[in-house]
């Protein structure tokens, strides 16, 4: 036997002479995970499920009320050798079966006392349900009979033909919104407005009801198809962050033998919601903005797509994608086993407990268990932090209460359990001193690393490149572009025109004015001999025509745009303008001195305060989207006056930037909060690699500080921004 699976256990005498019998009503389904055979036992009365390895199941199956536990265990040892369950694992199996009322027989008081720990496990599950106050479930109805009546109709959606129909619906929805992405993004900014919240909640309830029914009908459909039952006996209300939503318990899908069927059951809720989102998208596109139907369709589309993919589609949260991942990887109980595996690593390699139990089965599982343990903790911390901020921004006191409870559950209680384990656990009888010393050393090292050792203190902001000396080139009059100078050409005053345009209207006007002038001259010449008084009037008209001709001549000359300053002609879209009609005032490009560039960066008020007080003058600069291109720069000046107009719309949310834009803004340049502007000069070699209009990411560095100080500062700034405290 391996050293981490001790064959014998001191408490074996309590159960060795028992003669229990496995309950006859238990349902058993055989499954395969990673080439190994497993058995799923179901208690029909409680709908509980247990997964047993082949040796453990053979042990349980041989309990017939006549053989003793010790006798059955010895038979398993002879049949399975090292793969047979150990005495400790046998007690664990018996305890779980006893707690689920799947064992019959007379048990001695000391054996019952041994099994009480699994009764306490049940109580801990109930207590965990109560403490998990953000996700409380209240069962209300047994929908199994209803599902059995209608599964013949709705179950067809979970066939191959149903998949093709679903794909057609989703494809039609994507096609419908293809040309309305701008409108969809704009409307998303008002989804949390107070007047929209009732519609959003109605859409949420309808979407989640259809989602849960998707799970229920698919479970019932595949259960009938495979002959494993597929019973769904629990439906009710789940209070998700205090908001009541429907839920369905489709855990009987675990008994399905085909993992592809289990994956479809896990994904069916999301598939249903995506179909609903597609239908809502089609309705949204074909209804008028401002109508109730239009608003409901958008809310349904938003809830059934974005929220579904963010939560149900996230395998690091214990929702649909998590169970899909379990079957795809063929690693059952990934979440709990990942935590057990991390505990095993600590016990085995840090505390030196050579008999610690390794829950993994093979080297590939070890990697997945370790990865999931770390990734899930980080993901859940981020999600719960977002929930706290969301609740706290609307109900500050409740947000503080939620934060306090989560800190207690996630930090205080685990630490208390750890210290109690170190002080009292029999598992540490021989290694207690080492465990205490290594744990203390680890805590001390963590405190030193976080609270004392100084780490680089950096932050990033965005800016836009612009030349110091430049001239914007605009159309001076309306006209059709005939040709344009290639972008990047060096140019100066008196050089070739940047744009050559023509205007049939101006040319026709020139001919008309010339004809009118010629006619007036003839009339004036004739008046000299007939009416001397009319000569003066006609002379005035001739002078006025000369002025119009002069303006017309200037307008025609303005169709050929020259450069007012020496520099480089920068017009990235010049080729697109050929043959197009451009209006007066339309910007064509700029003439700029590309050897003298600067970067106009924007910083929030908290960042600007650090810049003014303690930042270093040197700046690391990278082109956004091209992290491999890095140049250096220096701060020229920090404009202390608060501003609200961005240097470029590309720095705002609407343009893909990091600055929040005011809701009433129309051109994407009005910031939601005042900001400070920082002017940065890139080094001379960088000028040849930067172009006006490029968005840059600037990294500033202040004096090193401990990570704890940096974290507290970020937390304080977050509270000040979100809660104004």
User: What per-residue confidence (pLDDT) applies to 414?
Assistant: 87
DSSP conformation class of 644: E
Burial per residue of 585-611, b for 16 or more beta-carbon CB atoms within 10 angstroms, e otherwise:
eeebbbbbebeebbbbbbbbebbbeeb
User: What per-residue confidence (pLDDT) applies to 532?
Assistant: 63
Q: Each residue of 661-704: pLDDT tens digit? A: 776 666 677 887 888 888 888 876 554 567 788 888 888 888 88
Residue 593 corresponds to which tokens in the numbers above?
A: 């001195």
pLDDT band with cut points at 50, 70 and 90 for residue 139: confident
Does position 117 have pLDDT exceeding 50, yes or no? no
User: What per-residue confidence (pLDDT) applies to 441?
Assistant: 94
Q: Which residue has the higher pLDDT, 41 or 444?
A: 444
Does position 564 have pLDDT exceeding 50, yes or no? yes
Over range 241-245, report the average pLDDT.
67
Does position 95 have pLDDT exceeding 60, yes or no? yes
C-alpha span between 298 and 283 (Å, rounded): 9
Q: Each residue of 186-215: pLDDT tens digit? A: 777 677 677 788 888 888 888 889 999 999
C-alpha span between 676 and 603 (Å, rounded): 5
Torsion of CA 305, 308, 314, 318, to 10 degrees: -170
Give the list of residues 6+ apart from residue 93 with CB closer than 8 angstroms, or none. 52, 56, 59, 60, 85
Q: Each residue of 26-66: pLDDT tens digit? A: 778 787 776 678 888 777 666 666 778 888 888 888 888 88
Lowest-pLDDT range of 348-357, 428-437, 633-642, 695-704? 633-642
Q: Each residue of 14-23: pLDDT tens digit? A: 788 888 888 7
User: What per-residue confidence (pLDDT) applies to 163?
Assistant: 93
Cβ distance 15 to 113 under 8 Å?
Answer: no
Give the pairing of strands 499-502 and 479-484. Answer: antiparallel
Burial of residue 4 (number of CB atoms within 10 Å: 0-12, 13-18, 19+): middle
Does position 646 have pLDDT exceeding 80, yes or no? yes
Q: What is the DSSP string of 101-126?
A: T-EES---HHHHHHHHHHHHHHHHHH
Lowest-pLDDT range of 41-45, 80-84, 281-285, 464-468? 41-45
User: What per-residue confidence (pLDDT) applies to 656?
Assistant: 74
Cβ distance 328 to 263 under 8 Å?
Answer: yes
Name all domains of the chain by residue range, CATH numbers in brackets. 10-131 (no CATH), 135-330 (no CATH), 374-453 (no CATH), 472-590 (no CATH), 593-723 (2.40.30)
Does position 363 have pLDDT exceeding 50, yes or no? yes
Lowest-pLDDT range of 98-112, 154-168, 185-199, 625-639? 98-112
User: What per-residue confidence (pLDDT) applies to 189?
Assistant: 65
C-alpha span between 155 and 219 (Å, rounded): 9
Q: What is the DSSP string of 663-704?
A: TT-SSS-EEEEEEEEEEEEEPGGGGGG--TT-EEEEEEEEEE
Closest residue by Cα to residue 696 from 638, 623, 636: 623
Hey, which residues does 491 pair with through a beta bridge? 567
Does position 515 have pLDDT exceeding 90, yes or no? no
pLDDT band with cut points at 50, 70 and 90 for residue 119: low
**Number of other CB atoms surrounding residue 149 within 10 Å:** 9
Give the residue carrying structure tokens 């001919």. Answer: 511
Give the number of C-alpha atoms closer than 13 A to the C-alpha of residue 667, restricted to the C-beta side: 8
Q: Each residue of 371-406: pLDDT tens digit? A: 999 999 998 888 888 877 777 776 777 778 878 888
User: What per-residue confidence (pLDDT) applies to 533?
Assistant: 65
Give the list of residues 6+ apart from residue 163 with CB closer than 8 angstroms, or none. none
Cβ distance 698 to 619 under 8 Å?
Answer: yes
Closest residue by Cα to residue 295 from 280, 279, 309, 305: 280
Hey, which residues does 484 pair with through a beta bridge? 499
State percent of the chain over pLDDT 90: 13
C-alpha span between 725 and 706 (Å, rounded): 24
Over range 602-612, report the average pLDDT.
78
Does position 542 have pLDDT exceeding 50, yes or no? yes
Q: Which residue has the higher pLDDT, 121 or 596?
A: 596
**Cα-atom radius of gyration of the chain, to the nearest Å?**
38
C-alpha span between 16 and 69 (Å, rounded): 5
User: What per-residue confidence (pLDDT) applies to 106?
Assistant: 64
Whether the CA torsion 711, 715, 716, 721 is positive or negative: it is: positive
C-alpha span between 281 and 173 (Å, rounded): 6
- E strand or H helix that includes residue 283: helix 259-285
- Measured CA to CA in angstroms, residue 298 lies from 203, 213, 271, 275, 351 at distances of 9, 22, 18, 14, 56
- E strand or H helix that includes residue 76: helix 69-80
DSSP conformation class of 487: T
Closest residue by Cα to residue 204 from 241, 235, 245, 237: 245
C-alpha span between 176 and 187 (Å, rounded): 16
User: What per-residue confidence (pLDDT) applies to 1?
Assistant: 35
Helices (H) and strands (E) in the chain, counts: 20, 22
State whether residue 367 is helix, strand or coil: helix
Closest residue by Cα to residue 280 from 261, 308, 254: 308
The length of the chain is 725
State whether residue 492 is helix, strand or coil: coil
Does position 724 have pLDDT exceeding 70, yes or no? no
pLDDT band with cut points at 50, 70 and 90 for residue 2: very low
Q: Each residue of 328-344: pLDDT tens digit? A: 888 888 888 899 899 99
Q: What share of the chain is helix, strand, coil (3-state, %, to 5)?
A: 55, 20, 25
Whether the CA torsion 551, 557, 561, 562 is positive or negative: it is: negative
Q: Which residue has the higher pLDDT, 721 or 508?
A: 508
Q: Each residue of 224-233: pLDDT tens digit? A: 887 776 788 8
- Measured CA to CA in angstroms, residue 232 lies from 213, 249, 372 at distances of 10, 6, 29
What is the residue-averaged pLDDT of the chain? 81
Beta strands in 130-241, from DSSP E residues, in sequence order: 135-141, 234-240
Residue 9 corresponds to which tokens in the numbers above?
A: 């256990």
User: What per-residue confidence (pLDDT) applies to 277?
Assistant: 92
């Amino acid at each position: 036997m391996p050293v981490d699976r001790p064959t014998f256990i001191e408490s074996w005498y309590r159960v060795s002479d028992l003669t229990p019998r496995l309950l006859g009503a238990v349902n058993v389904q055989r499954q395969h995970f990673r080439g190994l055979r497993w058995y799923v036992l179901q208690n029909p009365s409680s709908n509980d499920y247990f997964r047993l390895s082949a040796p453990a199941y053979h042990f349980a199956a041989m309990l017939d009320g006549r053989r003793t536990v010790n006798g059955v265990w010895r038979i398993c040892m002879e049949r399975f050798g090292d793969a047979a369950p150990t005495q400790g694992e046998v007690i664990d199996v018996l305890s779980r079966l006893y707690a689920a009322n799947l064992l019959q027989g007379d048990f001695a008081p000391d054996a019952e006392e041994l099994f009480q720990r699994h009764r306490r496990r049940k109580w801990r599950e109930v207590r965990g349900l109560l403490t998990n106050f953000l996700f409380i479930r209240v069962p209300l109805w047994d929908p199994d009979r209803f599902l059995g009546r209608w599964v013949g109709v709705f179950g067809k959606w979970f066939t191959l033909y149903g998949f093709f129909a679903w794909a057609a619906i989703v494809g039609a929805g994507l096609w419908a919104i293809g040309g309305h992405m701008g409108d969809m993004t704009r409307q998303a900014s008002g989804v949390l407005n107070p007047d929209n919240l009732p519609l959003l909640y109605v859409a949420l309830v309808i979407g989640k009801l259809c989602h849960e029914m998707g799970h229920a009908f698919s479970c019932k459909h595949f259960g009938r198809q495979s002959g494993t039952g597929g019973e769904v006996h629990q439906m009710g209300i789940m209070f998700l962050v205090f908001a009541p939503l429907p839920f369905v318990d489709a855990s009987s899908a675990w008994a399905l033998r085909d993992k592809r069927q289990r994956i479809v059951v896990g994904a069916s809720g999301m598939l249903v919601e995506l179909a609903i989102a597609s239908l809502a998208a089609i309705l949204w596109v074909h209804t008028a903005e401002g109508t109730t139907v239009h608003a409901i369709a958008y809310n349904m589309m938003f809830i059934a797509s974005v929220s579904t993919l963010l939560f149900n589609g996230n395998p690091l949260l214990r929702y649909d994608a998590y169970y899909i991942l379990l079957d795809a990887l063929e690693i059952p109980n990934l979440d709990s086993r990942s935590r057990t595996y991390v505990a095993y690593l600590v016990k085995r390699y840090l505390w030196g407990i050579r008999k610690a139990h390794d829950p993994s089965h093979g080297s590939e599982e070890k990697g997945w268990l370790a990865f999931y343990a770390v990734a899930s903790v980080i993901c859940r911390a981020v999600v719960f932090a977002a929930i706290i901020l969301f609740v706290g921004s609307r109900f500050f006191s409740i947000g503080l209460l939620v934060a306090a409870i989560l800190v207690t559950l996630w930090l205080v209680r685990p630490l208390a359990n750890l210290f109690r384990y170190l002080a009292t656990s029999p598992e540490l009888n021989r290694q207690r001193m080492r465990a205490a010393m290594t744990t203390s050393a680890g805590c001390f090292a963590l405190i030193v690393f976080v609270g004392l050792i100084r780490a680089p203190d950096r932050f990033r902001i965005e800016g836009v490149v612009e030349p110091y000396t430049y001239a914007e080139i605009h159309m001076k009059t309306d006209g059709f572009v005939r040709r344009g100078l290639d972008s990047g050409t060096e140019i100066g005053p008196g050089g070739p025109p940047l744009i050559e345009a023509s205007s049939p209207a101006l040319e026709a006007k020139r001919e008309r004015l010339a004809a009118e002038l010629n006619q007036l001259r003839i009339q004036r010449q004739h008046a000299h001999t007939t009416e001397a008084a009319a000569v003066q009037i006609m002379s005035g008209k001739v002078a006025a025509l000369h002025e119009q001709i002069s303006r017309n001549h200037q307008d025609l000359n303005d169709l050929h745009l020259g450069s007012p300053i020496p520099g480089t002609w920068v017009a990235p879209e010049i080729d697109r303008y050929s043959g197009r009609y451009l209006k007066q005032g339309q910007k064509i490009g700029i003439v700029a001195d590309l050897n003298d560039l600067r970067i106009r960066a924007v910083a929030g008020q908290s960042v600007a305060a650090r810049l003014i007080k303690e930042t270093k003058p040197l700046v690391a600069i990278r082109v956004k989207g091209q992290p491999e291109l890095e140049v250096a720069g220096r701060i020229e000046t920090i404009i202390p006056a608060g501003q609200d107009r961005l240097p470029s719309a590309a720095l705002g949310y609407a343009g893909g930037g990091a600055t929040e834009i005011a809701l009433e803004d129309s051109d994407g340049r009005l910031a939601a909060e005042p900001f400070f502007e920082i002017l940065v000069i890139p080094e001379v070699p960088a000028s040849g690699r930067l172009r006006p209009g490029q968005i840059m990411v600037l990294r500033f560095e202040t004096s090193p500080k401990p990570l704890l100080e940096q974290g507290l500062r970020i937390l304080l700034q977050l509270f000040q921004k979100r809660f104004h405290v």
